[in-house]
């Protein structure tokens, strides 16, 4: 009985080891730490990667075009970006839905009309919305970066199912999404070289912003609150000393 139990435990541990994903390495993000902030040039490059690569499959439902002001785009640029998309609106006077150019007040439209269509196009897999993906995945931006750069040939003895791809950072090692990034896939307006690592870093930072666009304001408010509390602590201490100075 003991031998059978030992064999069972060893097989379980072996199976778990095969399916366990590698832990993503920590990257150097400008927004980390209590005083961290986003880099606008990095966010704009990341938006470009999302727009030209990721948006073909992944939605960004919680972000409106006007929110792009937060990453440094001007109003006229935002209107131009929105005009490049079409959204469904209506019903009109005849009761029909219709297509129109997006406005700055519109959220980013989904690449698919519904989830069933998305699954059909992607061999049964539903591409997740990217708005909160950094908060929804353990490891945050580090995990997103690792996932996009973690496509390799499967190790010896590992068979990848049809329609799947090996990624060392994905739980189980097999992911439905094909390798999304290749060298020079986008042409950055600022002349930055579009390596896979650079694009992965930029779009991970952009998705960190979409998950928490108010992060900088929250940190700024936190610093102000701490400064206020420290100031009031000093005031209360001096007041206490004055009130009780005559008492031994």
Minimal CA–CA distance to 22: which of 197, 150, 137, 133? 150
Q: What are 101's two structure tokens?
A: 């150019």
pTM: 0.86
pLDDT in tens, 126-150: 999 999 999 999 999 999 999 999 9
| Residue whose structure tokens are 């006007």 | 66
pLDDT in tens, 204-244: 999 999 999 999 999 999 999 999 999 999 999 999 988 88
* pLDDT confidence of residue 4: 52
* pLDDT confidence of residue 13: 41
Which CA distances in Å does 31 have to 67, 84, 203, 209? 18, 30, 14, 9
d(CA 45, CA 41): 6
By the 8 A CB rule, do 145 and 204 touch?
Answer: yes
* pLDDT confidence of residue 178: 93
More confident residue, 64 or 241: 64
* pLDDT confidence of residue 247: 78
d(CA 35, CA 52): 31
* pLDDT confidence of residue 7: 42
* pLDDT confidence of residue 9: 45
Identify the bridge partners of residue 89 per DSSP, sorted by sequence position: 98
d(CA 175, CA 167): 7
**DSSP one-letter string for 177-241:** SPP---TT-S--TT-----HHHHHHHHHHHHHHHH-TTHHHHHHHHHHHHHHHHHHHHHHHHHHH
For the four alpha carbons of 133, 135, 140 and 141, in that order, the dihedral sign comes to: positive
Q: What are 190's two structure tokens?
A: 């600022």
Alpha-helix residue ranges (DSSP H) falling in the chain: 2-19, 40-52, 75-83, 115-121, 133-136, 140-149, 196-211, 215-243
| Residue whose structure tokens are 């139990």 | 5
What is the fold of 13-63+107-213? Answer: Cytochrome Bc1 Complex; Chain D, domain 2 (1.10.760)
pLDDT in tens, 70-122: 999 999 999 999 999 999 998 888 889 899 999 999 999 999 999 999 999 89
Residue 25 main-chain phi, psi, to 5 deg: -75, 150
């Amino acid at each position: 009985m003991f031998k059978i139990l030992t064999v069972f435990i060893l097989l379980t541990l072996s199976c778990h080891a095969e399916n366990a994903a590698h832990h993503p390495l920590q990257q150097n993000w400008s927004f980390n730490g209590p005083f961290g902030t986003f880099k606008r040039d990095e966010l704009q490059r990341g938006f470009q990667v999302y727009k030209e690569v990721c948006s073909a499959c992944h939605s960004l439902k919680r972000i409106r075009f006007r929110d792009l002001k937060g990453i440094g785009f001007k109003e006229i640029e935002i209107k131009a970006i929105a005009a490049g998309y079409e959204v469904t609106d209506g019903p009109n006077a005849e009761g029909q839905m219709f297509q129109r150019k997006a406005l700055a007040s519109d959220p980013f439209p989904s690449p698919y009309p519904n989830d069933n269509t998305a699954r059909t196009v992607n061999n049964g897999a539903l591409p997740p919305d990217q708005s909160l993906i950094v908060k929804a995945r353990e490891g945050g931006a580090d995990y997103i970066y690792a996932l996009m750069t973690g496509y390799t040939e499967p190790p010896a003895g590992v068979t990848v199912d049809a329609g799947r791809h090996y990624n060392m950072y994905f739980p189980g090692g097999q992911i439905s999404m094909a390798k999304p990034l290749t060298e020079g896939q986008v042409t950055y307006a600022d002349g930055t070289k579009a390596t896979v690592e650079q694009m992965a870093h930029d779009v991970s930072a952009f998705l960190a912003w979409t998950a928490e666009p108010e992060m900088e304001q929250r940190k700024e408010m936190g610093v102000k609150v701490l400064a206020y509390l420290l100031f009031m602590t000093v005031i209360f201490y001096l007041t206490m000393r004055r009130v009780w100075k005559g008492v031994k």
